[in-house]
Amino acid sequence: MANRDILHGTDSSSLGNPRGFWAMVHLDPILLVLLLILMGGGLFVLYSGADRNIDVVKAQGIRLGIAFVVMVVLAQLDPAVFRRWAPLFYTLGLVALVAVLLVGVGAKGAQRWLAVPGLPRFQPSEYMKLVVPMMAAWYLSRHYLPPGLRHLAVGMAIVLVPMAMIVKQPDLGTSLLVGMAGIFVVFFAGISWKLIAAFFALVSVSAPVMWMYGMRDYQKQRVLTMLDPQSDPLGAGWNIIQSKTAIGSGGYDGKGWLHGTQSHLEFLPESHTDFIVAVLAEEFGFVGMLVLLTVYFLIILRCLHIAVSAQDSFSRLLAGALTMTFFIYIFVNIGMVSGMLPVVGVPLPLVSYGGTSGVTLMAAFGVLMSIHTHRRMICS
Amino acid sequence: MPWGEFKNIAAERRLFQRRTLVMLIFVMLLMGALIARLYQLQVVEHEIYTTLSDKNRVQVQSVPPPRGLVYDRNRVLLAENRPVFSVTLVPERITDMSATLARLQTILSISDEDLERFQRRLKERRRPFQELPLRYDLNEEEIARLAVLRHELPGVEVQAELVRYYPYSEFTAHALGFVGRINQSELQRIDPVNYAGTNYIGKSGIERFYEQQLHGKVGYQHVETNARGRTLRVLERKNPVPGENIQLHLDLRLQKLAHKLLDGRRGAIVAIEPATGGILALASVPGFDANQFVTGISVEDYRELSESRDKPLFNRALRGQYPPGSTLKPMLAIAALDSGATNHTRRVWDPGYFQFNSSGRRYRDWKRSGHGWVDLNLAITQSCDVYFYEIAVDMGVDTIHHYLSRFGFGEDAALDVAGALSGLLPSKEWKQGARQEPWYPGDTVNLGIGQGFMLATPLQLATATALIADRGYWVEPRLLKSIDGNNDLTSFLPEQNHAPLTLKNPDNWEFVVEAMADVMHGARGTARAAGANASYRMAGKTGTAQVFSLAEDEEYDAEEVKERLRDHALFVGFAPVDNPQIAVSVIVENGGGGSSTAAPMARALFDAWLLEFGEGGGDRDGSAAADIANVEGPR
């Protein structure tokens, strides 16, 4: 307690010192600047992707603003709060997921939303992206690391139960992201390489079985389409062919902002949501894509630095897992749009139009900032 | 268990740092993979995708040429092109076809037939993203309603296309023919490139015969389109070459008059300009509205037309094969004179019948009491059957066949009249081949008055009459007068292949013509009533043909039989006698006598052509007809 008082005293007495100021507002300036660059550039591309519809840009600006507020608020909380309440958050999340399966609403044969009267509609699976790694980190950090088999099993159960419920909705994309978040916690916790090797062996053996019995037809179709888009050029292959054409025709330095023919002539589907990176690639070319990937990479570097500098295992595991989830978003989205991965509904983080994922992502950055700016209070 | 107790904090931190390093390498590897992928697409394969992108954006569209127009000899438009709006659907852009169709049915009136045709086309093989027409000929209100609701109906478009329209169709359907949608068998023989944007092709008549000239050459344009196929701008365009406009010899006024004269009856009138062979009128009554056939006639309408007893779809002028009856006598007279079977003065006793020998079958004359002593002039004027029985027997069938074939019987002599039939010019060989019977002398007797096996179409009778008017000079009948104002038609019309019919004594033409003039003007002429009070001289021959059947497939119900067994009334003639401007053949089915029914119609046509229409021959010496009328008037 004394230490904290002294620290605070020092900070408040030197307002001119930027580090002091940022510590007081509990924000990380480097991460903040990178995120602002990303979101600003994203809105710029969105204007083109939405075919100069300024209303779309405004709506996205408002959503990002809300997400930004969520980040700032979460950054003010002590990581100890997350740790203490993680089981409760997790339990609430499970209840919400059950409720989605029972009374959820949605479209196209999938129930993903929960409409509670008096509250905005929300998607419990999004919330679980944050809470599952939190819970896993809470459980594993209570025990010695690396975890023993028993704790590992419990940790995996914490991840797999909500994941299975999200698959039931069905929402394969989100359940994979939730699962990845949890698995990264397990990985960072120090699971032995032997087990990892065994896991991959199991996956490669079970994949054909999954193909035969576990996957729905439309999911199989997406995989087949990725392997050979020309097999159905006007149906499922259309998106991939058109986005690859958009990216490829962008060339080294692109066709110029607002000059992408693929997107503006409506050949490119979802040009302002999941496929927005194709707009960027078409209009700003390979150079533009390098800039985008550099910004993402710098964000990841900064976040991994935050994770490494965290002072307790819970914070480290959580920060590491959230960072890697963020990266998975990027990889899956760009991989899908460029035809390396099957089409999964994963947006390009903080650039694609759409509210829910933006709020979740910024909430994760809020948690990371909280971890970073509350360090010395825990340190004795 | 409290946090941190017994835990090796430093070891955990080192473990985490190692794992983070692994993850960093993982991130860098995957980022590298993404960059490699983007490098491959954007730098290595850039050219491929640029081409794909341009191909996406730029489409080559065919631009169909506007079909050539058809004018009559006075440049009255007989066939034009009218924009017609139809609603089309692109199945690839429609997620729920049945819902879209149901929605369209609330906006437009769509018949079951439209739906049926659409569903049929939906199942057929077609190009991807090809528009399928659902309903043609939308009215303005329907277009407006669709325009308002179009945003709710992706894949539904209103298309305008130029479609053939015949403003005087009920008069011209049989003369012009009509166009219709290209069918499977036509697809086999047309050039798919030139017809890339064309939906219609000439099905019959002039439209079919001059398809190549009327169609023109296809153009194309490079257009920038969006993914929905909507054209945004035209980048490059090569205009189509429009079809050539053609002018026919047909005179709409005369054509209308012919229809008016035959109105309420069944029959045909063909009028030919003897000097040119130009067909001035080609009427088959009842007619029909060919516009119904252009965009596709409904099953009920078609049934009504095809099952009508009056057979409006049957082109009597070209395909109606009738026994020519007495109208054949002038041609037979020429044959008899030239072959020496008779001469100007030979007389025959007509007791009212003809017999080979005293106990044989009696071939009756139409006049039971007989005509008494008859020479060739009187035989034509009075239409004496016995005289022609005699000379027919004297000539024999081979001679008759030889001469009649020189008049164009038994062949389709017309140059550009699609679908004309050849009639039947009987001969010994024909009878042996078709009936496995020898030619009997009685057959020759019947042939002598244009009965028996002999069949001719109204067009053939008019052609043979024009040959008499031209005194043996052959000009094959034709409809085409000029193409795009160019009168040199040698490259468009088939070659003329008839040698002139030269008589040993050319005066025999004048002898027969004078006899035909006496039919109209002589004191005993069979058509003297029709020829009375004329200001010009005309030549003609009446005919009455016994009906046995109009065609093999003809079916009359019992009650109709009596009325429909009345004789056909026929007439052939030309006017003026000395400078013929018009030759006609008239056939009125079950019309009774040729002199009472058919001859007055020909007179009306002559009067109209020579006096009322004034010009007499379109672009020919304009005052000729009027002058003739004045000169000949006093006679």
Class of domain B252-632: alpha beta
**From start to end of A173-294, where are the E strands?**
none
- Write the pLDDT tens digit of every residue in A267-312: 777 778 888 999 999 999 999 999 999 999 999 999 999 999 998 8
* Band of pLDDT at residue B549, cut at 50, 70 and 90: very low
Question: Domains of chain B: which residue ranges?
Answer: 60-248, 252-632
A15 pLDDT higher than 60: no
pLDDT of residue A314: 92
Kindly state the DSSP code that residue B315 receives in the 8-state scheme: -
* Band of pLDDT at residue B255, cut at 50, 70 and 90: very high
Helix, strand, coil share (%) of chain A residues, nearest 5: 75, 0, 25
Comparing CB atoms, the residue among B20, B39, B92 nearest residue A234 is: B92
* Band of pLDDT at residue A112, cut at 50, 70 and 90: confident
* % of chain B residues with pLDDT over 70: 90
- Write the pLDDT tens digit of every residue in B451-463: 889 999 999 999 9
Q: Does B353 touch chain A (CB under 8 A)?
A: no
Across B229-243, B488-502, B582-596, the highest mean pLDDT is recorded for B582-596
Q: Does B565 touch chain A (CB under 8 A)?
A: no
Q: Nearest CA of chain A to the CA of B306: how many Å?
A: 45
CA distance B570 to B594: 5
pLDDT of residue B389: 92
Q: Which residue has the higher pLDDT, A214 or B277?
A: B277
Mean pLDDT of B536-546: 90
Q: Nearest CA of chain A to the CA of B11: how many Å?
A: 9
CB pairs under 8 A between A and B: 141
B327 pLDDT higher than 90: yes
pLDDT of residue A298: 96
Helix, strand, coil share (%) of chain B residues, nearest 5: 40, 20, 40
Mean pLDDT of A209-231: 71
CB A74, CB A366: distance < 8 Å? yes
The residues pairing with B159 across neighbouring beta strands, listed in sequence order, are B86
pLDDT of residue B556: 46
B64 pLDDT higher than 70: yes
Q: Does B46 touch chain A (CB under 8 A)?
A: yes
Kindly state the DSSP code that residue B65 receives in the 8-state scheme: P
pLDDT of residue A376: 59
* Band of pLDDT at residue B24, cut at 50, 70 and 90: very high
Q: Which residues contact A187 (CB under 8 A, 6 or more apart)?
A: A196, B19, B23
A3 pLDDT higher than 50: no
CB A94, CB A159: distance < 8 Å? no
B368 pLDDT higher than 90: no
B207 pLDDT higher than 70: yes
Specify the range with the lowest mean pLDDT, choosing from B53-62, B196-205, B232-241: B53-62
CB A280, CB A295: distance < 8 Å? no
Asked if B41 lies within 8 A of A327 by C-beta distance, the reply is: no
Q: B60-248 has which fold?
A: Penicillin-binding protein 2a (Domain 2) (3.90.1310)
- Write the pLDDT tens digit of every residue in B468-520: 999 999 999 999 999 887 777 777 788 878 889 999 999 999 999 999 999 99
pLDDT of residue A16: 42
CA distance B205 to B366: 39
Report which secondary-structure segment, H or E, holds B430.
helix B428-435
Nearest residue in B to A290, CA atom:
B35
Q: Which residues contact A151 (CB under 8 A, 6 or more apart)?
A: A139, A140, A143
pLDDT of residue A6: 39
Comparing CB atoms, the residue among A248, A301, A316 nearest residue B45 is: A248
* Band of pLDDT at residue A119, cut at 50, 70 and 90: low
Mean per-residue pLDDT of chain A: 84
3-class secondary structure, B47: helix
Q: Does A304 touch chain B (CB under 8 A)?
A: yes
Nearest residue in B to A316, CA atom:
B16
- Write the pLDDT tens digit of every residue in A57-71: 999 999 999 999 999
Per the omega criterion (within 30 degrees of 0), is the bond before A342 cis?
no
Q: Which residues contact B129 (CB under 8 A, 6 or more apart)?
A: A234, B90, B92, B93, B229
* % of chain A residues with pLDDT over 70: 87
B628 pLDDT higher than 70: no
Asked if A145 lies within 8 A of B7 by C-beta distance, the reply is: yes
* Band of pLDDT at residue A12, cut at 50, 70 and 90: very low
The residues pairing with B88 across neighbouring beta strands, listed in sequence order, are B133, B157
* Band of pLDDT at residue A4, cut at 50, 70 and 90: very low
pLDDT of residue B548: 57
Q: Which residues contact B449 (CB under 8 A, 6 or more apart)?
A: B325, B326, B328, B329, B385, B388, B389, B392
**Residues in chain A closer than 8 A to B233 (CB atoms):** none
Report which secondary-structure segment, H or E, holds B84.
strand B77-89
- Write the pLDDT tens digit of every residue in B85-94: 888 888 877 8
Q: Nearest CA of chain A to the CA of B19: how many Å?
A: 6
* Band of pLDDT at residue B229, cut at 50, 70 and 90: low
Mean per-residue pLDDT of chain B: 85
**Residues in chain B closer than 8 A to A248 (CB atoms):** 41-42, 45-46, 48-50, 52-53
Nearest residue in A to B52, CA atom:
A245
Q: What is the 3-state secondary structure (H, E, C) of B347-408?
A: CEEECCEECCCCCCCCEECCCCCCCEEECHHHHHHCCCHHHHHHHHHHHCHHHHHHHHHHCC
ipTM confidence score: 0.89
B346 pLDDT higher than 80: yes
CA distance B250 to B534: 25
B16 pLDDT higher than 50: yes
Mean pLDDT of A141-153: 85
- Write the pLDDT tens digit of every residue in A38-52: 999 999 999 988 888
Asked if A304 lies within 8 A of B33 by C-beta distance, the reply is: no
Asked if A249 lies within 8 A of B16 by C-beta distance, the reply is: no
Give the largest Cα separation in chain A, rounded. 69
Q: Nearest CA of chain A to the CA of B230: how many Å?
A: 10
Q: Nearest CA of chain A to the CA of B2: how many Å?
A: 8
Comparing CB atoms, the residue among A188, A286, A338 nearest residue B43 is: A286
Q: Which residue has the higher pLDDT, A138 or B147?
A: A138
Nearest C-alpha neighbor of B20 from the set A309, A155, A360: A309
CA distance B190 to A217: 45
Is B359 catalytic? The answer is no
Asked if A338 lies within 8 A of B46 by C-beta distance, the reply is: no
CA distance A241 to B119: 30
**Residues in chain B closer than 8 A to A312 (CB atoms):** 3-4
Q: Which residue has the higher pLDDT, B213 or B623?
A: B213
Q: Does B144 touch chain A (CB under 8 A)?
A: no
Q: Which residue has the higher pLDDT, B195 or B393?
A: B393
* Band of pLDDT at residue A5, cut at 50, 70 and 90: very low
pTM here?
0.61
3-class secondary structure, B563: helix
B133 pLDDT higher than 70: yes
- Write the pLDDT tens digit of every residue in A323-342: 999 999 999 999 989 988 88
Q: From the candidates B86, B169, B204, B326, which is the catalytic residue? A: B326
- Residues within 8 A of B (CB atoms), A 224-243 only: 234, 241-242
Nearest residue in B to A260, CA atom:
B53
Nearest residue in B to A255, CA atom:
B50
For chain B, count helices (H), then strands (E): 25, 20
A121 pLDDT higher than 90: no
Distances (CA, A) of B622 to B438, B607, B610, B615, B617: 54, 16, 11, 5, 7
* Band of pLDDT at residue B582, cut at 50, 70 and 90: very high
pLDDT of residue B562: 64
- Write the pLDDT tens digit of every residue in B402-444: 999 999 999 998 888 888 899 999 999 999 998 898 999 889 9
Q: Which residue has the tokens 């640029």?
A: B50
**Residues in chain A closer than 8 A to B44 (CB atoms):** none
* Band of pLDDT at residue A233, cut at 50, 70 and 90: low
Mean pLDDT of B202-208: 90
pLDDT of residue B374: 92
